[in-house]
Amino acid sequence: MYPGVHAATAPDRPAVIMSGSGRTLTYRELDDRSLRLADVLRRRGLRRGDVVALFSDNCPEVSEVYWAALRSGLYVCAVNSHLGAEEAAYIIDDSGARALISSAALAEVAAALPERLPRVELLLAHGGAVPGHGDYERALAAASAERPAHQPAGADLLYSSGTTGRPKGIKPALPDREVDEPDEGGLSSLLQQAFGFGPGMVYLSPAPAYHSAPLRYCGSVQAVGGTVVMMERFDPAEALRAVERYRVTHSQWVPTMFVRMLKLDPEVRARHDLSSMRVAVHAAAPCPVDVKRAMIDWWGPVLWEYYAATEGIGMTLIDSARWLDKPGSVGTGLLGELRICDDDGAELPAGEVGTVYFARDELTFEYLGDPEKTRSARHPEHPGWATVGDLGYLDEDGYLFLTDRKAFMIISGGVNIYPQEVENALALHPEVADVAVWGGPPSARGYAVKAGGRPAPGAEPGPELAERILRHVRDRLAHYKTPRSVDFVDALPRTPTGKLVKGELKKRYAS
């Protein structure tokens, strides 16, 4: 389904509410405005398979652009709103976008884009004027709201977060259906089955809307007629307030958000009524066991964890009860069958760490303009198996445990060390606000384990704090996994969804 269905049956139901301002977009408005934008794009000559880029902050217009593309057979390319002009222009140009919709909230960067994008034919800005862009509201007012007879379904064309290198476009095949036809086997039907998505739900989206999970989940909520409560930006106390104020039933988080909420003053944590929450989904990065256990103790058995990727190669799922029996697991295969393979592609037995593959009948994505990367994501002998380079193992019951990204693994003294394990051990350390572990400069024994930390408020950086941190690790893990040293920093390079940009860390410390 899509918003037009719900505009006919529940036109005044909110499709989007901004949690801070309360600004609301109803289903009638979402249907009308996305229909008008689709007409604007069609009149400018965009046809099935073309790309419209979106450079925006969190706001209702994100849903308008998303659904204009999805009801026109177009790809929507949502661009990281934290990028500079050169970085954003690279993605927009690389995607082949013919149209760009920008937000005036990002005017400083957006104004520098037109001269860098000679191939973009249509530029519009919402929320105010942006040099080089036309007026979004004026364009919609002049467009037709008549529904065309043919509305082919579109898709998203998103870029990897670039944690290990330059972002790559992930281009799926377009669906062979109309936008109002059932999405059999697609994300919306999967979420209805797994989490009970439906018309009565209220979904809190605290993360940046350009990212794959928030963008797709918000779209899926609107496909089934629910209400999206979108935070302008994440704040731990404001997130709890939003759950209570809007009686949120479903939500999605990343582990760094859990950590920040758990470190709130106990009085603040206890202040809000969270009893409406039925499902709290989390993903994007492995969740430290201590953090997950503390969240279940606080919120109850409403946590569901999944493991997936923007590439759509597969998905695992685990609920709170099963996780308590298998702490640290990300579950069993929900979409695709799990396979663990060595570097040569041979399957490994239970308990052995290797590359995580999902086995599917077929894979329908490619890395845009990079056939070699597309090929490397496939298994050497089974073209229906794919990986994004994560390492992990299956236990005897088929539950997946992730260890780390292959690119992040440290080999020291001939032993494999997984930085994520060390980071997890420090996640709730009261004197650490943020921490990262990576392989330092090479030596005769391999790569030394290096740690960088941002001290918590009130903690004094220096040798004494470093020793307390290292002792904390030694008390919990084998001594060879303990970092040789700790550097204190003002900030660690993370994406807005909490992923460490370890490629940047390695470059920073290469010397």
Q: For the segment 356-373, what is each residue's pLDDT rounded down to a tens digit?
A: 999 987 767 888 888 888
Handedness of CA 262, 264, 266, 269 (dihedral sign): negative
What integer pLDDT is reported at residue 372 of this predicted model? 87
* Domain's final residue, options 169, 189, 224: 224
Asked which of 48-62, 224-238, 484-498 is least confident by mean pLDDT, the reply is 484-498
Split at pLDDT 50, 70, 90, the class of 57 is very high
Total number of domains in the chain = 2
What integer pLDDT is reported at residue 193 of this predicted model? 84
Phi and psi at residue 417, to the nearest 5°: -125, 130
> Is 83 inside a domain boundary?
yes
Average pLDDT over residues 128-147: 97
* Domain's final residue, options 193, 224, 255: 224
Q: In the predicted model, is pLDDT for residue 303 greater than 80? A: yes
> Is 127 inside a domain boundary?
yes
> Is 275 inside a domain boundary?
no
* Domain's final residue, options 224, 242, 269: 224
Between 12 and 486, name the one with better pLDDT. Answer: 12
Strands (E), 320-420: 332-335, 337-341, 354-359, 365-367, 385-386, 390-394, 400-405, 410-412, 415-417
What integer pLDDT is reported at residue 444 of this predicted model? 46
Average pLDDT over residues 60-68: 98
- Residue 274, by phi and psi: left (phi above 0), alpha (psi -120 to 50) or beta? alpha
Average pLDDT over residues 36-53: 97
> Is 450 inside a domain boundary?
yes
> Is 264 inside a domain boundary?
no
Q: In the predicted model, is pLDDT for residue 197 greater than 50? A: yes
CATH code of the domain covering residue 24: 3.40.50.12780
CATH code of the domain covering residue 466: 3.30.300.30
Count of other CB atoms within 10 angstroms of residue 52? 31
Average pLDDT over residues 11-31: 97
Please, what is the average pLDDT of the chain? 90
Distance CA 477, CA 492 (A): 23
Which of 53-67, 356-370, 398-412 is most confident?
53-67
Q: In the predicted model, is pLDDT for residue 479 greater than 80? A: no
Range of the domain at 219: 3-224
What integer pLDDT is reported at residue 54 of this predicted model? 98
> Is 475 inside a domain boundary?
yes
Average pLDDT over residues 434-448: 68
